[in-house]
Chains A and B, each alone.
Chain A
Amino acid sequence: GAVVSQHPSWVICKSGTSVKIECRSLDFQATTMFWYRQFPKQSLMLMATSNEGSKATYEQGVEKDKFLINHASLTLSTLTVTSAHPEDSSFYICSLTGTYEQYFGPGTRLTVT
């Protein structure tokens, strides 16, 4: 299956700053990647669908100006959390889809102080 990496694995930032999270497909060209958010002890919630070379598609209730997604190549999608606040602290997971299943990155834990 495809191998997906995320960087950083853990980041702490101050309130009001921006943080960029990278999602890389190491061995698979992904025209579409997905970004999920997971709060502690909760399930994954799809935030947006990242499309290579075009604008991302955001799920209802997700602020596109706050969560900027760029999918500039077939192997890299980035999620930038702008003007982060403590309530943005969460576990962010990216994934890409093969023919029959999803391949998930290891996740990035964001803590906003």
Chain B
Amino acid sequence: AQSVTQPDIHITVSEGASLELRCNYSYGATPYLFWYVQSPGQGLQLLLKYFSGDTLVQGIKGFEAEFKRSQSSFNLRKPSVHWSDAAEYFCAVGASTNAGKSTFGDGTTLTVKP
């Protein structure tokens, strides 16, 4: 069965600092990986996705993620965090291009200090 682990429940960074959110997955075949962001009381917005090809994926809002098969990881990064990035971030792994059956991690809450 597929699973996702986000080791960090809560991360606090200063505005302008760099950010890395960790994600580890377990899946028996080639994974389809996603990062989503959720603002309070809102639905989820896709930041980026990885299916194949270049292991460094660029997303919206200046985010990127790197797929490392050897480490079963798909960590999300941003070089300079903005106050508006404060939100909940979810990593998800899907079984196929039909993302509806994705399994979500427990999420990481990002707080941005001024």
Contact = CB atoms under 8 A, between A and B. Distances in A.
18 contacts: A4-B43, A6-B43, A41-B109, A43-B90, A44-B90, A91-B41, A93-B43, A95-B44, A95-B100, A100-B97, A100-B99, A101-B34, A101-B99, A102-B44, A102-B99, A102-B102, A104-B44, A106-B42
Interface of A: 4, 6, 32, 34, 41-44, 46, 49, 91, 93, 95-97, 99-102, 104-107, 109
A56 to B, nearest CB: 13
B41 A93 contact: no
A41 B107 CA distance: 8
A4 B42 CA distance: 12
B64 to A, nearest CB: 17
Majority DSSP secondary structure for residues of A touching B: strand
Contacts of B41: 91, 107, 109
Nearest to A96: B100
B: contact size bracket: 20 to 34
B49 A107 contact: no
Contacts of A95: 43-44, 100
Interface of B: 34, 36, 41-46, 49, 51, 90, 97-102, 104-107, 109
B106 A42 contact: yes
A100 B49 contact: yes
Given A95-B43, A96-B100, A107-B43, 17 more contacts: A34-B100, A41-B109, A42-B107, A49-B100, A49-B101, A93-B43, A95-B44, A95-B100, A97-B98, A100-B99, A101-B34, A101-B46, A102-B34, A102-B100, A104-B36, A104-B43, A104-B44
Contacts of A105: 43
Nearest to A42: B106
B58 to A, nearest CB: 15
B4 to A, nearest CB: 9
